[in-house]
Amino acid sequence: MQDNLNVVVAQSPAELVGPSERLAWLETSIRSIGERGADLIVLPELFLTGYNVGDTVDEWAEGRDGNAFRQIAGLCRRHDIAIHFGYAERDGEHLFNAAACIGKDGAVVATHRKLLLPPGFEANHFEAGRECRTFEIGQFTIATLICYDAEFPENFRHVAAADLVLVPTALAAQWEVVAHKVIPARAFENGMFVCYANHAGHENGIDYLGASCIVAPDGRDLARAGRSEQLLFASLNISQVKAARERLPYHRDMKKLPWLKAI
C-alpha cells in the first residue's frame, strides 16, 4: 500500500449559482488536474449550494441518495479520484450543514454534520451534528471538521487518531487569523496534516478570504492559495505524521496533566 496520498484542495469561485453550475465547474476542474495522479480532491463548505444563499439553501438541499451525490459518484469512478465536498443535507424534516467523501469506486466513504453553528444564516437554517468519525483512504486515517468546528482545539483533540483532517470552510476576509494562524497551529499541536478548503471571491455580500491551504504536521504550509480561484496540490507522506509526534509528543504528555482527562 502506498505511503503517499496525493491531494488537491479546490478553492472554488463563490459566484457559481446552484448545484448545476457548481458540478459543471467541478467536472472541468477534475479534467484540468490531468495526469497529476491525484487521489483526493477537497472542496469548500456548502460547495454544492453556495454558503450565503439564504432560504434558497432549503430548495437545493438533498439527501445522501440525491442527484448531486449520483453525479459526483460518477465523476469519482470516471476519473479514479475521491471527492470530499460540502453540501446541505436533508434528512426528513431536518437540515444539516454537512460534508461527504465519495471514494474512487463511487461509494460514500464518510459523512459529517457540522457540530457547531455560528449565529445568523447557519443557526437559522441548520441543526447541529452530534458526532465525528474517522475514515480510511489508503494508509491515512482521516477526519472531517467544518469551518467553525476547526476553531476549537477540543475538536481536533477528539479526532487525535487522525493523520489528516479535512476542513471545508466559508471563511470571510475579516477572519484572516484563522486561516494563517489557527489552522497551522492545529496541525502543529496535533502532529497531523490539515487540508483547509475555502471559497474565492464574493457571494451575496460576503467577501471571502481565500487562503485555502495544505499544512504539514510541523505546521508548515505545503501549499497556500491567494484570493482567487485556485487548485492546490501536495503529496502527503504518512511518515511525516509519525516523525512529528515522536519529536513533539503532545498527545502523550498531555495525559500527565492532573486537571485534564486522558483522551
pLDDT in tens, 106-135: 999 999 999 999 999 999 999 999 999 999
CB 41 within 8 A of CB 10: yes
205 within domain boundaries: yes
Q: Residue 132: give its domain's CATH number.
A: 3.60.110.10
Task: Tell whether the model's pLDDT for residue 177 goes beyond 70.
Answer: yes
Domain that holds residue 44: 4-254
Q: Over range 217-239, report the average pLDDT.
A: 98
Number of domains comprising the chain? 1
Active-site residue list: 45, 114, 147
> Which helix or strand (DSSP H or E) is residue 88 part of?
strand 82-91
- So what's the pLDDT on residue 1? 54
The distance of Cα 94 from the centroid of its chain, to the nearest Å, equals 22
Q: Is residue 260 included in any domain, yes or no?
A: no
Model-wide pTM > 0.85: yes
How far is Cα 147 from Cα 29, in angstroms, rounded to an integer? 23
Q: What confidence tens digit (pLDDT) does each residue in 19-72 have?
A: 999 999 999 999 988 778 899 999 999 999 999 999 999 999 999 999 999 999
- In-domain check, residue 261: no
Q: Is residue 131 part of a domain?
A: yes
CB-based contact 106:77 (threshold 8 Å): yes
Q: Which residue has the higher pLDDT, 156 or 258?
A: 156
Residue 18 near residue 60 (C-beta atoms within 8 A): yes
Question: How far is residue 236's CA from residue 216's CA, in Å, rounded to a whole number?
Answer: 8
